[in-house]
Amino acid sequence: MRQYKIVLVIADGLGDRPVSKLNLKTPLEAADKPNIKEILKSSMVGLMDPINAGIRPGSDTSHLAIFGLDPYKYYRGRGAFEALGAGAELSENDVAFRGNFATVNSDFMVIDRRAGRKLPEADELVKLLNQEINEIDGIKVRFYHGTEHRVAVVLSGPGLSDRISDTDPHEINKKLNMSYPLDNSPEAKRTAGVVNKLTKRIYEVLSNSPINEKRSKEGELPANIILLRGAAKYQRLPQFSSYTKINPAAVTATALIKGICKDLGFKVVTPPGATGGIDTNYDSKAQAAIELLKDYDFVFLHIKATDAASHDGLIEEKVKAIERIDSVIGKILDHYGSDIVLAFTGDHATPVELKDHTGDPVPFLLYVPYSIISDNVSDFNEREARKGSLKIIGLNVLNLLLNYSNREEKFGE
């Protein structure tokens, strides 16, 4: 049997509901998608529940499921994936946090959760913290800069736990929280203690730094604290190549997704101009995927723009992003149309009028380069997908791809 290469395109937060400004069409219905329409006659179409019916997924849990790993078994919280995406090297049992540079007053009242959002000095501040704070009570501490005001903080040492609460109060005009243990273990107690001491040290180092002195003089808010959340103990995920026998590569610019892919053993590429936002360079992403297909049999292309537009309520931007993704798919098919099976879907719905993820099923399309019984649909969107043959959950995706690329191992004899 001829084996085909596999391309998986995920438009983050693709799924939607009827939008009043689009005459009750969804963005996927409103978007012009000539390339996708062209392949419908050689595709299966349907709906996917990323986790299960009605479950509201995060991008992390849904990607785990789509990559074939049960999130209820493998999901350890977001901190570790973000840290990996920001370039951290993690060892088993390290505890990682996501964090924001933020502004507090001298009573530790949070004035701004993002230190005014404009923080070109973030790299320097992270460097300073790594110079000044090496350990707390025998626990090694490292800081990594993500994007903008985002940082990852990693604790390494014996006897740590991730069963501790956030210091981030998640709102302004609230006092920074003390971290407290979420169970009765000595490890959780010890880790919460380390986090509270660390938070004080961070405040001392940052509030005395010349960088913040300069910011204050220039009328900018000082970045004098890091709000920590999402403690996660790092446990390495199984390697994608070991459970699929395929060498995978990913094109993505989003720290969280980069982190998951790195951990699964993907070759991860962030091409020039790829931003993880609505201004991303689509051509450069298509080109990167086309290049990777020379050497890899599984190429995953992640586009965040659809989710970013949805969270900001930008209807037209979401439609435009879908149209650009259509042209990316067209470019890949121009090069490899007869050599690949290609799936296109979202990792969850992010209805643009709600600006948040929902547990709605997401349209799913699977193109194959040979003759199949295709679904009788006239377009690819939330409405037409209900007429298609596929009714799947995220955990089915990988098996479908392996089966139709003739790579699935036989179960039994």
- Can you tell me whether residue 362 is helix, strand or coil? strand
User: How crowded is the C-beta side of 67, counted as CA atoms within 13 Å?
Assistant: 34
Q: Which is nearer to Zn ion, 188 or 319 (CB)?
A: 319
Choose between 66 and 225: whose C-beta lies nearer to Zn ion: 66
Q: What is the DSSP string of 223-265?
A: --EEEEEEEEE--PPPPHHHHHS--EEEE---HHHHHHHHHTT
Closer to Zn ion by CB, 12 or 166: give it.
Answer: 12
One-letter amino acid of 170? H
Identify which of residues 11 and 221 has a Cβ nearer to Zn ion in the complex: 11
Q: Decide whether 5 or 348 has the Cβ nearer to Zn ion.
A: 348
Between 12 and 82, CB nearer to Zn ion: 12
The minimum distance between CB 354 and Zn ion, in angstroms, equals 11
Residue 6, CA distances (Å) to 10, 135, 248, 327, 368 in order = 13, 45, 9, 18, 10
What is d(CA 298, CA 249) in angstroms, rounded to the nearest whole number? Answer: 6
Residue nearest to Zn ion (CB): 59
Minimum Å distance from CB 60 to Zn ion?
A: 8
As measured in angstroms, the least distance from the Cβ of 350 to Zn ion is 5
| 224, two tokens | 């004098």
**Whole-number minimum distance, CB 310 to Zn ion, in Å?**
7
We find the least distance from the C-beta atom of residue 254 to Zn ion, in angstroms, to be: 9
Decide if 121 contacts 223 (C-beta within 8 A): yes
Phi and psi torsions of 395, nearest 5° = -65, -15
* CB 22 within 8 Å of CB 29: yes
Binding site for Zn ion (CB under 5 A): 12, 59, 307, 347
From residue 347, how far is each of 8, 358, 395, 406 by CA, in Å?
11, 11, 12, 24
Which helix (H) or strand (E) segment holds residue 321: the answer is helix 315-336
What does the DSSP 8-state code read for residue 50? Answer: S
* Cβ nearer to Zn ion, comparing 307 with 384: 307
Instruction: Check if the beta carbon of residue 100 is closer than 8 Å to that of residue 181.
Output: no
Minimum CB separation of residue 19 from Zn ion in Å reads 17
Minimum distance from residue 57 beta carbon to Zn ion (Å): 7
Q: Smallest gap, in angstroms, from Cβ of residue 141 to Zn ion?
A: 29
| Token pair 């660390």: residue | 198
Q: Which of 49/347 has CB closer to Zn ion? A: 347
